[in-house]
């Protein structure tokens, strides 16, 4: 009998001296990112590396412009204070890009995770030619890069957020129904000269939440607006599924014989809590800023709006309770445009989660994202710098 | 701003010479497990290790009784054939144990994954004292170990399958409702002198399927009988969730206002497809071998039995379609006792999956386990040997 472990063994690589150095460079960078500013001694203590090894690694990262060393931190012992290692606020940076249904965006994030440039322009992208959309995005990105350079930043990697399914072919959007895209080679069409990765906006919104949020490493991030998407963050990573299509919360059935959905099935969550369904129930039309108009109605005590939001919250809660029983996250985060509707969605969601989850679900485990609509673009910029921090050897000027 | 990457950085360990050797021993073992029998040269080629390194590692594994080297395999080049490395069929072995509601089980599995000893005894364990159950299990395990020794096997690690939730405390069953257990320190009470791990039976059934099955690395394994459990296998590992409670498929809502479930919520899957609900609808009483009686009625064309199974299949399909949209597995496997009901459950499941999954769900992606009820105990034995194969340095006689 063969053991069915071929996949695990194939991915196994022999440990080598060169691989060790690369791994240890990454270890120092991620340690300073998580715990810095800190002394060389503190890095050695946390990582288990010798002081000499840390010094050699830090020197390399310093000369690549990735770490700075200045000021002082208490060494925790008697004697003079050590100098403080920190991620550089100049030099290598990440470029985040976004194609939305109604806008284009570009941002530049420095290694410390701070957003230094933020551009967002209105654009009617629904059913517009992808080439045109991405040419305009390239122009926006060039403006952002120009502004970043003026502050001493040098974007070296880019990530693009799209409201669609990103398939197996790298850089390609397999399907984005709200844009009218099918098999668009986005990374080729967006020609700003940096290596570009493409990811789903819900995934990037969730990563932004992970990196800037309350600190949970395992959560479901619900990102609702035109459609309802979700991302499962597991151990600090987006869980993508066997073919990269995990997170389609909007098409989990709420009532097996409910109304017919655009996907062809009946009773999907989108038919109860999707923007179109909620606006219809609230007696509002679609269009730009529909969510803001809905929130304003609810704030004014409009009964139809309140009723529509309560039913939507209940349906979201029922579906998320099932998801919690299935994947056991530590928290659920309501993000995207729906973060602005939290006051009215949360009560129904909390009730359903409390009743239906097998393990006790504390009310504080349901959170509203502080990033909201800014999530996907922020996440794209941060994902770009994460590439650098997790494998700094790739970004040395000599490479 | 601190990056929220503390967890990742904390788990980072400095790469060391000793760690490298340990990692490379594991690499050789997992390579031979997945691709053997094979020559030393083939191991070197697959792993990227030098011939000299492979020789030194193989010598160590050989003298620990973990690898054998005999016979010959074609070297793929001109000249004499190489000798064949294979996992040993004698020496270190795994002990699998199981506490069921109506039985106890013990098995011994050799390093090649073959079940060499299999014992299963009837036992009325529902609401019986845990101490008593585990003392009887110890006796059964001693018989199994005795038989294994007579064949030249030496069990060195054990894994116990229980129909319950295994929490954070290692070796402890937090809750097993069908046994009446709560916070039972199973690994202390089962005193056969080997290191013992405890895991949920659905997880172990899924691992058995992974290791002996068709080869998918990402699937949902549904393990139904008294309750309905599931295990998510992701990249060849059981996905456990933030607190170890993932896979509670039986309490995903099918109809939000359906019948009240034992868990307190309404309309859970167990109310439509759990053994008790299906037997009631089929007009059958509970008791030993209820699933076999149900299958026999269905085979005889009994209308109530067929109707009950069709409705159960539909409910399973609806719920699994939602799960597929959420976690995107490559396959769904029907295991446990319900594997015997596949002929009648599958049509409804297939129909629902085809209608409700967002990506095309090919009929062949829904499978019936060949192991069925034997899954959890087989999985326990194989999990024990997997501990050895994945970290052979721990099991050297010198340690």
Put simply, whether B113 touches A (Cβ < 8 Å) is yes
In angstroms, how far is CA A29 from the centroid of its own chain?
A: 20
Quick check: A34 and B256 CB within 8 A?
no
Write down the H helix ranges in chain B. 6-11, 17-35, 40-47, 51-63, 130-150, 186-189, 201-212, 270-273, 275-282, 290-299, 303-327, 342-356, 375-390
Cis peptide upstream of residue A109 (ω within 30 degrees of 0): no
Cα distance from N-terminal residue to C-terminal residue, chain B = 45
pLDDT in the model for residue B104: 96
Neighbour count for residue A245 (Cβ, 10 Å): 22
CA–CA min distance A240, chain B (Å): 7
Ranges A8-17, A34-43, B360-369: which has the least confidence: A8-17
Distance CA A252, CA A158 (A): 32
How does pLDDT run across A298-356, given as a tens digit for each residue? 999 999 999 999 999 999 999 999 999 999 999 999 998 899 999 999 999 999 999 99
Which of B1, B7, B10, B12 best probes binding to A when mutated, by most A CB atoms within 10 angstroms? B12
Residues B9, A35: C-beta atoms closer than 8 Å: yes
CB B298, CB B344: distance < 8 Å? yes
Question: Residue B4 and residue A355: Cβ atoms within 8 Å?
Answer: no
Does B326 contact A248 at a Cβ distance shorter than 8 Å?
yes
Tens-place pLDDT, residues B195-228: 889 999 999 999 999 988 666 789 999 987 678 9
Average pLDDT over residues A175-186: 87
Mean pLDDT of A46-73: 89
Partner residue facing A328 (CB), from B234, B241, B318? B241
Task: Give A323's contacts in chain B (Cβ within 8 Å).
Answer: 326
The residue among B86, B113, B325, B379 with the most chain A CBs within 10 A of its CB, best to mutate, is: B325
Residues A157 and A387 sit within 8 Å (Cβ to Cβ): yes
Out of A123-132, A154-163, A239-248, B14-23, pick the least confident. Answer: B14-23
pLDDT for A96 beyond 50: yes
ipTM of the complex: 0.84
Q: String of b and e for B8-31 (b: at least 16 CB within 10 Å)?
A: bbeebebbeeeebbbbbbbbbbbb
Is the model more confident about A215 or about B318? B318
Are A235 and B327 inside 8 Å of each other by CB? no
> What is the pLDDT confidence band of residue B341, given thresholds at 50, 70 and 90?
very high
Contacts of B202 (CB under 8 A, 6+ apart): B221, B223, B229, B230, B231, B247, B336, B376
Does pLDDT of A191 surpass 80?
Answer: no
Chain B, nearest residue to A258 by Cα = B255
A135–chain B Cβ distance below 8 A for any pair = no
- Could you check whether the bond before residue B305 is cis, i.e. omega within 30 degrees of 0? no
C-beta of residue B55 within 8 angstroms of C-beta of residue B40: yes
Which chain B residue has its CA at the smallest distance from A257's CA?
B255
Chain A interface includes B77 (CB < 8 A) = no
Give the gap in angstroms from C-alpha A136 to the nearest C-alpha of chain B.
31
Q: 3-class SS at B392?
A: helix
Assign A4 a pLDDT band (cuts: 50, 70, 90).
Answer: very low
Please check whether residue A294 touches B, CB under 8 A: no
Interface test with B, best of A29, A56, A328 (most B CBs within 10 A): A328
Chain A residues with CB inside 8 Å of B244's CB?
Answer: 328
Which residues of chain B does A114 touch, with a Cβ-Cβ cutoff of 8 Å?
A: 1
Q: Taking a C-beta distance cutoff of 8 angstroms, is the pair B349, B316 a contact?
A: yes
Q: Minimal Cα–Cα distance from B135 to chain A, Å?
A: 30
Domains of chain B: 17-87 (1.10.10.10), 91-206+376-395 (3.30.420.40), 214-369 (3.30.420.40)
Look at A4 and B215 and tell me if their CB atoms are within 8 Å: yes
**Pairs of CB atoms within 8 A across A/B:** 247
């Amino acid at each position: 009998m063969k053991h069915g472990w071929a996949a695990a063994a194939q991915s196994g690589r022999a440990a080598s001296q060169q691989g060790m150095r690369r791994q240890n460079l990454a270890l120092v960078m991620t340690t300073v990112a998580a715990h810095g500013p800190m002394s060389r001694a503190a890095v050695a203590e946390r990582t288990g590396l010798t002081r000499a090894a840390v010094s050699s690694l830090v020197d390399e990262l310093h000369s690549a412009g990735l770490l700075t060393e200045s000021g002082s931190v208490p060494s925790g012992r008697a004697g003079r204070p050590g100098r403080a290692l920190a991620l550089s606020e100049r030099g290598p940076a990440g470029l985040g890009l976004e194609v939305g249904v109604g806008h284009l965006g570009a941002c530049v994030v420095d290694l410390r995770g701070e957003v230094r440039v933020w551009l967002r322009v209105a654009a009617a992208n629904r059913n517009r030619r992808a080439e045109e959309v991405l040419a305009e995005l390239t122009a926006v990105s060039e403006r952002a890069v120009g502004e970043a350079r003026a502050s001493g930043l040098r974007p070296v990697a880019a990530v693009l957020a799209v409201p669609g399914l990103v398939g197996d072919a790298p850089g390609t959007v397999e399907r984005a129904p709200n844009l009218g895209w099918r098999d668009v080679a986005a990374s080729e069409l967006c020609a700003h000269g940096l290596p570009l990765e493409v990811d789903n906006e819900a995934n990037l919104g969730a990563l932004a939440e992970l990196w800037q949020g309350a600190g949970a490493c395992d959560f479901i991030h619900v990102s609702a607006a035109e459609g309802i998407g979700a991302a499962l963050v597991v151990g600090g990573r987006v869980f993508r599924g066997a073919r990269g299509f995990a997170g389609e919360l909007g098409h989990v059935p709420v009532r097996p014989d409910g109304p017919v959905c655009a996907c062809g099935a009946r009773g999907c969550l989108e038919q109860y809590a999707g923007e179109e369904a909620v606006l219809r129930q609230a007696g509002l039309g679609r269009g730009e800023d529909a969510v803001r108009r809905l929130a304003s109605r609810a704030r004014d005590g409009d009964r139809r709006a309140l009723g529509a939001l309560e039913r939507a919250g209940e349906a979201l809660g029922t579906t998320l309770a099932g998801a919690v029983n299935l994947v056991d996250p530590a928290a659920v985060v309501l993000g995207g445009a729906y973060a602005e509707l939290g006051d009215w969605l949360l009560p129904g969601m909390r009730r359903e989660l409390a009743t239906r989850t097998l393990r006790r679900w504390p009310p504080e485990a349901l959170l509203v994202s502080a990033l909201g609509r800014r999530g996907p673009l922020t996440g794209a910029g941060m994902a770009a710098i994460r590439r650098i921090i997790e494998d700094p050897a790739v970004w040395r000027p000599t490479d």
